[in-house]
């Protein structure tokens, strides 16, 4: 007999996202032996570097609970690493280690009062995390002309409608879902508004090292250190999402916030797994091989993303050129009349149709807080065998020749699903 159990209403109303539905459909097709072109799932395809794997194995005996905020040596290494990487000055006693940055974003959102502003489109989890807290995001719909990057005047305007003294902005740079990378000037202008409007920034920098533009990465820490919290970790740059290791860094002056966060951590997950923290020490020690590895993987991410961008533009989609992370946000608006005539009245229907009929998995913009009637969608550029592609990218070096040109030909040859997925989308457009 089914038992009626009373549940927390905020949790019950969390809806199953279209992301999950598309991923499930893709999984089922693959299980049935069908080919699927999986642009839906955003996981780095590369192996964890052997040095990190060895560090993990060598620390399997570490069995003691670690301090709540994490291994002191790890906090110190992270601070030094980011000094070298981006010239950040992160106080090591204001860094906390968590089981992925996602959990830390959740906990800090739980602690902070005030409305939470996010640019739309933004990462799928910010909204549900806030919903668990009984709040809703305040989305600012950005425009394709500005590569879906939040502009200072848009933020200022949004603040005019908010009475609360303290506000929060979560911004992911480079962006999941668009691959956009903010410029120095954009960060500077946004920082100025944040200072004027008493906005605390949660700067989600999980993809900061996956930067394939020709510009240096610029974070809010440069222009607004006193109001910027930074979250990052091993998942994306070091392809170790399953290790579940992330950190949050709070600015000087927020010691009370850290006290609160430490209390939350100690009453929830206690501390991150000890072997993983010791393995992470290897990552943040500044080892040259690891830095080179991240650089090469980033180059491949860039080549894959730029290939997809080239194909999308060629087939008539609109799509800002990505500069980081491993995502693109093309839209099918040029085909909206034909899509409507086919009964595909929004992005959710479009993505369902594409997976059912063409075996292409992509995610509708609505899941990223973008208006439902816009035919924008998120494409992840990682449906390839990362180990194999990495080796292929080095092959000339092994043979003492010039480095491999990671051009469109390289991607078509070594990442066949990216090509075939584009061919399928093109076929769909031709069939309309
Ligand atoms: C934008 C963004 N932020 C944060 C995360 C969380 O990463 P993790 O919890 O693995 O550190 C992800 C992972 O998909 C992400 O895409």
Q: List pLDDT tens digits, range 306-326.
A: 999 999 999 999 999 999 999
Reported as a single tens digit per residue, the pLDDT across 217-265 is 999 999 999 999 999 999 999 999 999 999 999 999 999 999 999 999 9
Question: What is the rounded average pLDDT of the residues 161-176?
Answer: 96
Question: What is the rounded average pLDDT of the residues 9-38?
Answer: 83
Question: Considering the chain, what is the average pLDDT of its residues?
Answer: 95
Name the pLDDT band for 329 (thresholds 50, 70, 90): very high
Query: Which of 20, 123, 127 best tests ligand 1's pocket when mutated (most atoms within 8 Å of CB)?
Result: 123
Ligand 1 pocket residue status of 172, Cβ below 6 Å: yes
Question: What is the rounded average pLDDT of the residues 271-289?
Answer: 96
Ligand 1 pocket residue status of 98, Cβ below 6 Å: no
Name the pLDDT band for 405 (thresholds 50, 70, 90): confident
Domains of the chain: 15-42+289-431 (3.90.1150.10), 50-286 (3.40.640.10)
pLDDT score at 309: 98
Q: Percent of the chain scored above 70 by pLDDT? A: 98
Ligand 1 pocket residue status of 275, Cβ below 6 Å: no
Ligand 1 pocket residue status of 366, Cβ below 6 Å: no
What predicted TM-score, i.e. pTM, was given to this entire model? Answer: 0.96
421-425 own/partner pairs: CB under 8 Å, 24+ apart: 421/37, 421/38, 421/39, 421/360, 421/383, 422/308, 422/311, 422/312, 422/315, 424/37, 424/354, 424/358, 424/359, 424/360, 425/312, 425/315, 425/317, 425/354, 425/358, 425/360
pLDDT score at 17: 65
Decide if pLDDT at 12 tops 90: no
pLDDT score at 20: 72
* C-alpha count within 13 angstroms, C-beta hemisphere, residue 424: 22
Reported as a single tens digit per residue, the pLDDT across 30-86 is 899 999 999 998 899 999 999 999 999 999 999 999 999 999 999 999 999 999 999
pLDDT score at 122: 97
**What number of other Cβ atoms are within 10 A of residue 394's Cβ?**
12
Atom of ligand 1 nearest to the CA of 102: 9
Name the pLDDT band for 18 (thresholds 50, 70, 90): low
* CB-CB contact of 179 with 305 (8 Å): yes
């Amino acid at each position: 007999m089914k038992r009626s159990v009373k549940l927390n209403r905020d949790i019950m109303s969390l809806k199953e996202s279209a992301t999950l539905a598309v991923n499930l459909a893709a999984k089922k097709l693959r299980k049935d032996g069908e080919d699927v072109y999986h642009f839906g799932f955003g996981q780095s395809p590369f192996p964890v570097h052997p040095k990190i794997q060895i560090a993990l194995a060598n620390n399997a005996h570490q069995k003691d609970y670690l301090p709540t905020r994490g291994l002191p040596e790890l906090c110190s290494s992270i601070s030094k690493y980011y000094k070298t990487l981006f010239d950040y000055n992160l106080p090591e006693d204001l860094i906390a280690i968590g089981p992925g940055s996602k959990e830390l974003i959740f906990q800090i959102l739980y602690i902070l009062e005030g409305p939470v502003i996010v640019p739309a489109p933004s990462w799928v989890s910010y909204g549900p995390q806030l919903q668990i807290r009984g709040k809703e995001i305040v989305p600012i719909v950005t425009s394709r002309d500005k590569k879906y990057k939040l502009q200072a005047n848009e933020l200022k305007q949004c603040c005019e409608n908010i009475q609360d003294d303290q506000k929060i902005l979560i911004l992911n740079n480079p962006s999941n879902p668009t691959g956009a990378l903010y410029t120095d000037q954009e960060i500077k202008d946004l920082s100025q508004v944040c200072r004027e409007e008493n906005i605390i920034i949660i700067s989600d920098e999980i993809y900061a090292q996956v930067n394939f533009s020709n510009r240096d990465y610029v974070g809010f820490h440069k222009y607004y250190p006193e109001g910027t919290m930074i979250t990052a970790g091993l998942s994306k740059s070091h392809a170790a999402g399953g290790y579940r290791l992330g950190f949050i860094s709070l600015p000087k002056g927020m010691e009370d916030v850290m006290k609160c966060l430490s209390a939350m951590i100690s009453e929830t997950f206690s501390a991150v797994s000890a072997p993983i923290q010791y393995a992470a020490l290897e990552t943040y020690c500044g080892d040259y091989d690891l830095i080179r590895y991240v650089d090469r993987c980033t180059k491949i991410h860039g080549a894959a993303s730029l290939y997809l961008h080239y194909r999308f533009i060629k087939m008539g989609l609109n799509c800002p050129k990505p500069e980081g992370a491993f995502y693109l946000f093309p839209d099918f608006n040029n085909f909206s009349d034909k899509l409507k005539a086919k009964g595909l009245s929004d992005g959710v229907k479009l993505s369902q149709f594409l997976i059912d009929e063409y075996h292409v998995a992509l995610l509708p913009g609505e899941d990223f807080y973008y208006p439902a009637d816009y035919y924008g969608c998120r494409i992840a550029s990682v449906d390839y065998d990362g180990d194999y592609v990495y080796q292929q990218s080095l092959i000339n070096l092994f043979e003492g020749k010039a480095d491999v040109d990671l051009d469109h030909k390289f991607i078509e040859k070594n990442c066949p699903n990216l090509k075939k997925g584009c061919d399928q989308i093109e076929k769909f457009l031709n069939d309309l």
